Amino acid sequence: MDQPPIVVGISGASGAALARRCVEQLAARGRGALVVCTAAGALVWQHELGEPFKRWVAKAPCRSFSINDIAAPIASGTFPTGGMVVVPCSMDTLAAIAHGLSSNLLERAADVTIKESRPLVVVPRETPLSVIHLKNLLTLAKLGVKVVPPMPHFYARPERVDEVIEHVVGRILVALGVDAALPVEMQYREGVPLP
Ligand SMILES: Cc1cc2nc3c(=O)[nH]c(=O)nc-3n(C[C@H](O)[C@H](O)[C@H](O)COP(=O)(O)O)c2cc1C
Choose one of 43, 44, 49, 93 to mutate for the ligand 1 pocket test, by most ligand atoms within 8 angstroms of C-beta: 44
Percentage of the residues of the chain whose pLDDT score is greater than 70: 97
Exposed/middle/buried for residue 97 (C-beta within 10 Å: 0-12, 13-18, 19+): buried
pLDDT per position as a tens digit, 101-129: 999 999 999 999 999 999 999 999 999 99
Ligand 1 centroid distance, CA of 52 (Å): 16
Nearest CA to ligand 1 atom 9: 13
- Amino acid identity, position 11: S
Q: What is the mean pLDDT of residues 125-145?
A: 98
Confidence of residue 2 (pLDDT cuts 50, 70, 90): confident
User: Nearest-5° angle of CA 64, CA 111, CA 171?
Assistant: 70
Which residue's CA is the closest to the ligand 1 atom numbered 12?
13
Count CA within 13 A, CB hemisphere, residue 101: 12
Whole-number Å distance between alpha carbons of 190 and 160? 25
Nearest CA to ligand 1 atom 16: 12
pTM summary value: 0.97
* pLDDT (mean) for 142-165: 95
What's the confidence (pLDDT) of residue 64? 98
Angle, helices 91-98/131-142, rounded to nearest 10 degrees = 50
Three-state secondary-structure class, residue 87: strand
pLDDT category of residue 193 using cuts at 50, 70 and 90: low
Residue 195 scores a pLDDT above 60: no
HSE value, Cβ hemisphere, 13 Å, CA-based, for 66: 4
Residue having the nearest C-alpha atom to atom 28 of ligand 1: 13
Domains in the chain with CATH codes? 6-186 (3.40.50.1950)
**How close is the Cα of 11 to the center of ligand 1, in Å?**
7
Q: Which of the two residues, 78 and 194, has the higher pLDDT score?
A: 78
Question: Rg for the chain (alpha carbons), in Å?
Answer: 16
State the average pLDDT over residues 181-185: 88
